[in-house]
Amino acid sequence: MRAFGGFKLGDRFFYGEVRGDEVHALARPYWIDIDPTGEVLKLAEVHVDLPVAPSKLIAVGLNYADHIAEMKRTPLGTPLIWFKAPSSLLPHNGAIEVAFPEHQTDFELELVIVVGATAKNVTAERALNHVCGHTIGLDISDRVLQKAEKQFGRCKSFDTYTPVGPFVYADVDVSDLAIELRQNGEIKQRARTSQMIYSVAQLVSFASQAMTLVPGDLILTGTPSGVGPICAGDRLEAKIDNWPPLRISVVNAR
């Protein structure tokens, strides 16, 4: 398994490969080419920033049976997808800024796919050849707006409503990994990726039938049951397997 991320050193941003407590700087984004510059820094010396720069974020809904039940929905028989704004991305240790504190705004923990090669009309059997790696993500959702509107783009696309990171993992089998979210130290969501109705390969294939996926694009694969509201002062910790957790705080937008 290899780990990659985005980092800042002062005002300089760069992508790098994480090896233990070191970051090996790369000349280009890792999803395009793994080209080390020779510069090696200590992980403790750099700031962990967004690990991706996607042209689009594709979200998947109703991909765990227990979440379908808790939302009082019925299976559609096909993946449900929509777009989230790339401007909603938030890095590790960032703060979700709740746009409407008077609204119920929920967390949703998700495994996230990072596209590594252009994909158009690919089969499920070949879809994993177009995947660069995976990361941890949260799909923050304004439930009041979601119930009032027929499409989900606005209620899930406010700035900071898509935390991802801290790193992206390549060369890892994600078909049956533990996935867990803690809110203020209390476990709220716990499942396994093997419980997804549609696998990573099926989701990549399905999305590619409708649009061209390009390197760096993200696909959020859906959330298990246990979603719940957030409020200012909350601390969220999202984990998948033994990857370093994604830690996020919550404040009200100014």
- Say if residues 37 and 195 touch (Cβ distance below 8 Å): no
Beta bridge partners of 182: 187, 237
Q: Which residue type, as a one-letter code, is found at position 130? A: H
Domain spanning 57-252: CATH superfamily: Fumarylacetoacetase-like, C-terminal domain (3.90.850.10)
| C-alpha to C-alpha distance for 198 and 124, rounded to whole angstroms | 11
DSSP 121: S
Nearest Cα to 237, choosing from 181, 192, 193, 164? 181
pLDDT digits (tens, 9 = 90+) for 31-46: 999 999 999 999 999 9
Q: What is the pLDDT of residue 66?
A: 87
Domain extent listing, the chain: 2-49, 57-252
Nearest Cα to 110, choosing from 2, 189, 228, 214? 189
Q: What is the pLDDT of residue 72?
A: 77
- 3-class SS string, 28-69: CCCCCCCCEEEEEEEHHHCEEECCCCCCCEEEEECCEHHHHH
Q: What is the pLDDT of residue 73?
A: 80
Q: What is the pLDDT of residue 128?
A: 98
Q: What is the pLDDT of residue 229?
A: 98
**Stretches in the chain below the pLDDT threshold 50:** none
Q: What is the pLDDT of residue 250?
A: 98
CATH code of the region 2-49: 2.30.30
Three-state DSSP at 22 gives strand
| C-alpha to C-alpha distance for 89 and 52, rounded to whole angstroms | 9
